[in-house]
Chains A and B, each alone.
Chain A
């Protein structure tokens, strides 16, 4: 039974527009929620995180939102750039990381 779900395998967005990536989870016992970014032939790299006691965290063009009542996590990228094209994984932390299946974001020039 998957604890973390990313229901959209892919997303295409025009350059300059907003990208919204979503993640749903089933278990409320996680301490931190993270987003990782992965380019082809590379390992995932940490992007941004949010504590379970917060509902929003910003870092430049990236904002993560946490809705604990809905068990929903989202990543907003504004404005989107072609270099943002990658696979994005949400991950939930409680001792170790549990990853979602990933969403391939393509930002079109």
Chain B
């Protein structure tokens, strides 16, 4: 099925470990996004890529880095994980701008 694929679905990290969350879309969308969802906080934008070759910070970028590898793939990296980064991470894509996102099913990350 066409859509946004995120891997892994679940991950447990120890404080200080690093990892990369992968995201790929097959809808030929230009824009891609990484959000985190925390209880009572809704979805907060971490980083986005308006088009291939560009990335920009969102509302909560500290502690994260991103790479827009090509038009299909947008990865999120935690260099030194902290318990405050325990969250559910969602990747999304859209044709252009912020209208009509398609979301992946999420990655549940726990940092202990």
Which A residues contact B (CB, under 8 angstroms)?
4, 6, 9, 32, 34, 36, 41-46, 49, 89, 91, 93-102
User: Chain A: interface secondary structure?
Assistant: strand
- Determine if A44 and B42 form an interchain contact, defined as CB atoms under 8 angstroms apart: no
How many Å from the CB of B92 to the closest CB on chain A? 7
Question: When the two chains form the complex, which single residue of B41, B58, B106 contacts A96, counting CB atoms closer than 8 Å?
Answer: B58
Decide yes or no whether B104 CB sits under 8 A from chain A.
yes
* 8 A-B contact pairs sorted by A residue (CB < 8 Å): A43-B92, A43-B105, A93-B99, A96-B45, A99-B35, A99-B43, A100-B42, A102-B42
Which of B4, B44, B90, B99 is close to A32, meaning CB atoms less than 8 Å apart? B99
Known: A46-B102, A96-B97. 12 other contacts (CB 8 A): A34-B100, A42-B105, A44-B43, A45-B103, A46-B100, A49-B99, A49-B100, A91-B98, A97-B45, A97-B101, A98-B59, A101-B40
Q: By CB atoms of chain B within 10 A, which of A32, A44, A45 has the most?
A: A44
Q: B103: which A residues are within 8 A, CB to CB?
A: 43-45
User: Range of interface residues on chain B?
Assistant: 20 to 34
Other-chain contact of A95, B92, B97, B101, B106 (Cβ < 8 Å): B97
Q: A41-B105, A95-B97, A96-B58 are in contact. Are A89 and B33 (CB under 8 A)?
A: no
| A46 and B101 in contact, given A41-B106, A96-B48, A96-B58 (Cβ under 8 angstroms) | yes
Across the interface, name the chain B residue whose C-beta is closest to A97.
B98
Complex CA gap A99/B40 in Å reads: 12
CB-based closest 3 A-B pairs: A43-B103, A101-B42, A93-B98
Nearest opposing residue in chain B for A4, CB measure: B42
Residues of B within 8 A of A94 (CB): 98
When C-beta atoms are compared, the residue in chain A nearest to B38 turns out to be: A101
Closest residue of chain A to B59 (Cβ to Cβ) is A98
